[in-house]
Amino acid sequence: MRRALLIVGLLAACSSSIPSVPLDGGRADAPTPAATDPIPLEALGSELSRALCAALFRCSLGTRELREVRLQITDEASCVRLMLPRAVDQFRDLIVATNAGLTRYDAAAARRCITGLGSRCDLEFESSVEVCPGLFSGTVPTNGSCWRTEECAGDAWCRHGGTLREPRLCPGTCLPRVAPGGMCRQREECSSVGSATRVLCSLVVAPGEEGGRCVAIASAPPGADGDGCGLATAATNPPVDRRCATGLACAPTAGRSQCRPKLAAGAPCGGGDACADGTQCLPVGDGTTGACSPLQRWREGEACPEGQLGRTGLCDAAARLQCEDGFCRAAPGDGGIGSGCGTIPCNAGLYCDQMQQRCVARRATGEACQQGRGEMCESGSCADDTMVCLPRACLE
């Protein structure tokens, strides 16, 4: 099961840069619809950025990645400035599809979802679209041509291929989803209609079978101290995904994972231990042992050492600092063309050329790109077979 952290992904993606988005919702200072008004699609990226950044600073953070993000960006306003270009970019292609009549957008449902985010702290999503499911309904029939799943009518998905036996095709084809128990190769194939919460494509299959099977996942009340946690598939039908109650963490133990109290600040810890909010397991001494400690924010010229348990802090990304040769150094430039990059983002419309470690302009449709490097293209997608930039985003 994939479970990426959207906020981490959006902010980290800035290091590969974002195309320019000429939309009202593409500015951090763009006008915001009234709190009860339907949200225009052009403003959805902006509204989503503000809601997720508010949650990032409001909620108790259970993962190292999110704590590091919060340390690096210091406040909500900085978070919105960094997240906004990528969040808006994820909806840019949907605006194209909606204007072309390939999908429909529910602006009132978007307002209900954004309002609901004000009381949520589950920040684990794979994309901006997943934060508010059900906002888009497709118009393309089965076997019709599609660029993304939101274009497909009914309970269907956009299949692009991309296996060892066939190249990834863009555009793809709208196909019916598979019911729980059916064969699959990826999660997007599986139908969530009638499932308890979500579905996944489990790769645990019978000998001789290829691919996996669609599995519906049920939710469970938060676990108390000593309760099992995580995704349990062997003893339950349907499988159950249990989170731990506030103040507890899902810790691996002999044979299974259990909800256990987080270690107090200053307590000795190992790499897999969960520490109290505001701290995490960081190296001490020679770096072979650890203690629950707060992360530090390092300034220019300060050392950024790394032990076996990881670094004890981070260079200040807001000041365009990155760790080079054990010290925090400023990346050259201001994020424009020719500026230094790597872990530091480029400005809108640019991406980080990893060979040069410099910001360069994204490439237009038909220009050459590298396989798997969609960030090189204005559309965000590079054709696997011809290795040229595609005119639209190619997404399941």
pLDDT in tens, 295-337: 778 889 998 876 554 567 778 777 888 888 888 888 888 888 9
pLDDT at residue 216, as a whole number? 81
Phi, psi values for residue 195, rounded to 5°: -80, 160
pLDDT at residue 19, as a whole number? 31
Instruction: Sort strands 166-176 and 313-315 into parallel, antiparallel or unpaired.
Output: unpaired
**Residue 51 to residue 49: CA distance in whole angstroms:** 6
One domain for residues 127 and 5: yes
Does residue 130 lie in a domain region?
yes
Domain boundary among 245, 260, 275: 260
Domain boundary among 119, 139, 159: 139
Does residue 234 lie in a domain region?
yes
SS3 182: coil
Does residue 51 lie in a domain region?
yes
Does residue 144 lie in a domain region?
no
Secondary structure letter of residue 70 according to DSSP? H
Does residue 255 lie in a domain region?
yes
CA 127, 24, 369 angle in degrees (round to 5)? 50
One domain for residues 228 and 127: no
pLDDT at residue 203, as a whole number? 66
One domain for residues 229 and 133: no
pLDDT at residue 34, as a whole number? 63
Q: Report the interhelical angle of 76-99 vs 64-73 (nearest 10°).
A: 110
pLDDT at residue 237, as a whole number? 61
Does residue 313 lie in a domain region?
no
Does residue 179 lie in a domain region?
no
One domain for residues 132 and 231: no
Query: Which residue, 327, 380, 385, is CA-closest to 167?
Result: 385
pLDDT-flagged residues of the chain (< 70): 1-35, 60-69, 71-72, 122-130, 162-167, 194-197, 203-210, 232-238, 255, 271-272, 287, 306-311
| Residue 241 lies in domain | 223-260
User: How many independent structural domains does the chain possess?
Assistant: 2
**Tokens 């118009």 — which residue?**
139
Domain boundary among 105, 139, 173: 139
One domain for residues 21 and 135: yes
CA 103, 52, 22 angle in degrees (round to 5)? 50
One domain for residues 119 and 234: no
Does residue 355 lie in a domain region?
no
One domain for residues 4 and 134: yes
State pTM to two decimals: 0.76
pLDDT at residue 205, as a whole number? 56
**Residue 266 to residue 169: CA distance in whole angstroms:** 53
382: amino acid identity, one letter? C
